[in-house]
Amino acid sequence: MDGDGTDTTSPKSYSGIPEAVFVDNVDEFMSKPENSGGVDKVLRNLDEQHAKYKHMELSLATKRRRLRQQIPDLARSLDMIEKLKIQKEEMETKFLLSDQVFVKANIPPTDKVYLWLGANVMLEYALEDAENLLSSNMVTAKKNLTHVEHDLDFLRDQWTTTEVNMARVYNWDVKRRQAAKASS
């Protein structure tokens, strides 16, 4: 922790989102060589940067939604493995066959499960191995969700900073034009 209470050990962004620099002094900012193209060019660049941040936000929000769905699925799978580990006799259950269609099934005691890995791949695992794999996936998913939420917060700060910069440059230009008009 820093003296002001901020955490200096975690990165600003886990996915490499570039940090928006706040324009404190617009006169200095506009006198930089990279801003020699004029106010319109600077505003276009800031708008482009803002659009990139918005696109990154959409991508991260999609990733967050996927992780938020994945974590309960993993938890249910882990719960089922626990039930199968303690099951000593056949049990009757219902499972979802398709949307709103459930089927009854009798499940004998077992020491193996099949896990759907995606991409049309399903593998047989011993209960312990399946539990280890799913637990590892759960830890990774939770960590990734934490990183994505951190990056979304960071990203919101960046596009807000960019919006403020756009407003400051625009207002600077309006004042400059009014001053030029008044002096002529």
Contacts of 65 (CB under 8 A, 6+ apart): none
Question: Any idea of the CA torsion for 103, 107, 111, 114, to the nearest 10 degrees?
Answer: -10
Please say whether the beta carbons of 124 and 18 come within 8 A: no
pLDDT at 1: 43
Q: CA angle at residue 159 from 157 to 163, to 5 degrees? A: 115
**Interval 135-175: pLDDT, tens:** 999 999 999 999 999 999 999 999 999 999 999 999 999 99
0.95 exceeded by pTM: no
pLDDT in tens, 29-75: 999 999 888 999 999 999 999 999 999 999 999 999 999 999 999 99
Other beta carbons within 10 angstroms of residue 74's beta carbon come to: 19
* 120 contacts: CB under 8 Å, gap ≥ 6: none
Instruction: Name the residue among 31, 13, 20, 16 with its Cα closest to residue 165.
Output: 20
Residues with Cβ within 8 Å of 149's Cβ and at least 6 positions away in sequence, in order, are 64
pLDDT tens sequence across 79-106: 999 999 999 899 998 988 898 999 999 9
